[in-house]
Structure 1
Amino acid sequence: MGVDKVKKMVPSLHGKVSDEEWEERVNLAACYQLVAHYGMTDLIFTHISARVPGEDNQFLINPYGLFFDEITASSLIKVDIDGNVLDETPFKINPAGYTIHSAVHGARHDVACVLHTHTTAGMAVSAQKQGLLPLTQNSLMFYNCLAYHGYEGIALDLDERERLVRDLGDSIAMILRNHGLLTVGGTVSEAFRRIYYLEKSCEAQIKALAGGSEIIIPPREVCEHAVAQFQSFGSRTTLEWPGLLRILDRKGSNYRD
């Protein structure tokens, strides 16, 4: 679908929503395009959501059918926890996306953004019985902070939401077994940072195990020290986010439309 055609289908919402919602829309659209930029997409079949500022029961999600590098601030669809679409839009939402994201937003009010991917490395680790190993500094960001959810088929059954939320608990990320990766964040930028490093951790694990040499796992006390160091930084204010937006701006991205 051409950019001009999408523009005609999606009138700008700039000035028609609150300043806070517009800013969140811009950040979420940027997040979609950054996921595309870093090669973490699966055609149109994954999803990222962000809670509408000031609204506990409303969130923004992608229009089903657009590629991630086509998504703009105005094209994002506002839905409530019950699945009602609150925007006038020619698009639908992904039913599996609604199941997963409504579950997390409904249960975790500390979470502003939920990000889900089906990358090759993420799916590969999701199929390994031992899960993510503490092999690298990147993976230690998730030491004792990573949850697992068993595969139940395509996430279309609403009763899976209870088990998904139970398994996620208060973790910052989750591996969906035989499926993919999921991160949450108090901001869009925090969720993106986490998926970026969770993906790199999975890529490193697949390559390290494929190398055939004996691997080194740091002692438990070192792992605990490293994750405590990560947590001490505080990650909601992500210093790299403005630079990531500049990458999109240099490419001439339309994420702000």
Structure 2
Amino acid sequence: MPDAFPKPARFSEAEWAARVQLAACYRIFAHLGWAELIYNHISLRVPGQKMPPLHGASHRSPPEGDGSSRERPGDEPDHFLINPFGLHYTEVTASNLVKVDGEGCIVGNADWSINPAGFTFHGAIHATLPDAHCVMHVHTTPTMAVCCLKDGLSFTNFYAAQLWGQVAYHDFEGITVNRDEGARILASSGGKPVLLLRNHGPVVIGRTLAQAFNIMWLVQRACEIQVASQALGELQPITEAALQACVRDSLNFNPKFGAGEDSFSAMQRLIDRIDPGYRA
């Protein structure tokens, strides 16, 4: 499959691999119904700086070494990839993703601009948290519904249980186009991987794209089940001991077991069967 879509000479091997993976993720979101017209965002740090050693791990072969970050050859640091503003997720490809710096300014040549709201808080998170390799934001109906609830996410189902202690909140300030809100959103996150923007939607921060995708899957499924179960009656609580065990045992947070690499790869193979054009 990759041989059918050769790497353009202007991209390094490391950047091109990141572009292909991110473009695949946009197509996966569209396939799952997580797209929002031309809006919302998934941003990914361009390789070439210190990165966590999670990529490529699987439950079959745990990563070797002491788990410390290491340098990967590639592009200049503090650059990020994000979707072109104006394209549906099904139109995003590896080559038309836009590279920006920490200020959201386009680096190099690009046929499309970016949505200013797309990098207001993404940029602040990437620039401040060294492990924030990937940042995702969606507006799906169940996640937004839960973000509109006064009590937010209820840790009363299998998926939500894995997010115990992993969720923070940020009060609604309007459309996220003001740069100073980025710092406040970052402060609200408190270092947690899931930030629920009240009255708005979820933000997920991952040490790899695969991990971010799998945490977003947990958030989406947790909210779907919560919305459905709340409509039926009173929710059944889960003991704190059981919640702690769920977080401990969840493969989505465990680098020893790939932190979601296997399931993301399975979804990418599905997209390759449907429409491999994202690799262009």
Q: TM-score, normalised by structure 1?
A: 0.91
Task: Give the aligned partner of residue 17 of structure 2.
Answer: 23
Give yes or no for the alignment of 1:214 onto 2:234. yes
Task: Give the aligned partner of residue 247 of structure 2.
Answer: 227
Partner AA of 1:248 in structure 2: I
Q: What SS class does the counterpart of residue 255 from structure 1 fall into?
A: helix
Given the alignment, which residue of 109, 114, 119 partners 2:140?
A: 119
Q: Which runs of structure 2 are paired with 1:68-107 in the superposition (5 Å)? A: 68-107=89-128
Task: Give the aligned partner of residue 44 of structure 2.
Answer: 50
- 1:90 Cα offset (Å): 2.3
Task: Give the aligned partner of residue 35 of structure 1.
Answer: 29
* C-alpha contact (below 8 Å) 1:185/1:236 kept by paired residues: no
Give yes or no for the alignment of 1:148 onto 2:169. yes
The share of aligned pairs that are identical, in percent, is 37
Equivalent-residue separation in structure 2 for 1:184 and 1:82 (angstroms): 19
Partner AA of 2:196 in structure 1: I
Task: Give the aligned partner of residue 168 of structure 1.
Answer: 189
Aligned length: 245
Pick closer, same or farther for the CA change 1:151–1:188 going to 2, 3 Å: same
Task: Give the aligned partner of residue 63 of structure 2.
Answer: none
- 1:252 Cα offset (Å): 2.3
- 1:157 Cα offset (Å): 0.8
Pick closer, same or farther for the CA change 1:86–1:13 going to 2, 3 Å: farther
Answer with 221-230 or 112-121: which moved more.
221-230
* C-alpha contact (below 8 Å) 1:47/1:117 kept by paired residues: yes
Equivalent-residue separation in structure 2 for 1:140 and 1:168 (angstroms): 19
Cα RMSD after superposing both structures: 1.5
| Gapped regions of structure 2 (runs ≥ 5) | 1-5, 49-75
Equivalent-residue separation in structure 1 for 2:195 and 2:188 (angstroms): 8
Equivalent-residue separation in structure 2 for 1:84 and 1:214 (angstroms): 49
Which protein, 1 or 2, shows the higher relative CO under an 8 Å CA cutoff with sep ≥ 6?
A: 2
Give yes or no for the alignment of 1:251 onto 2:245. no
- 1:94 Cα offset (Å): 0.4
**Deviations 1:83-133, CA, capped at 9 Å, x for gaps:** 220131221100000102101101111111000000111110000011111
Task: Give the aligned partner of residue 110 of structure 1.
Answer: 131
Equivalent-residue separation in structure 1 for 2:193 and 2:8 (angstroms): 32
Task: Give the aligned partner of residue 261 of structure 2.
Answer: 238
**Deviations 1:17-53, CA, capped at 9 Å, x for gaps:** 1111110100100111100000011111101000011
Answer with 223-232 or 181-190: which moved more.
223-232
Task: Give the aligned partner of residue 60 of structure 1.
Answer: 81
Equivalent-residue separation in structure 2 for 1:178 and 1:214 (angstroms): 23
Task: Give the aligned partner of residue 152 of structure 2.
Answer: 131
- 1:170 Cα offset (Å): 1.3
Equivalent-residue separation in structure 2 for 1:239 and 1:220 (angstroms): 29
Q: TM-score, normalised by structure 2?
A: 0.84
Pick closer, same or farther for the CA change 1:22–1:241 going to 2, 3 Å: same
Pick closer, same or farther for the CA change 1:172–1:200 going to 2, 3 Å: same
Task: Give the aligned partner of residue 52 of structure 2.
Answer: none
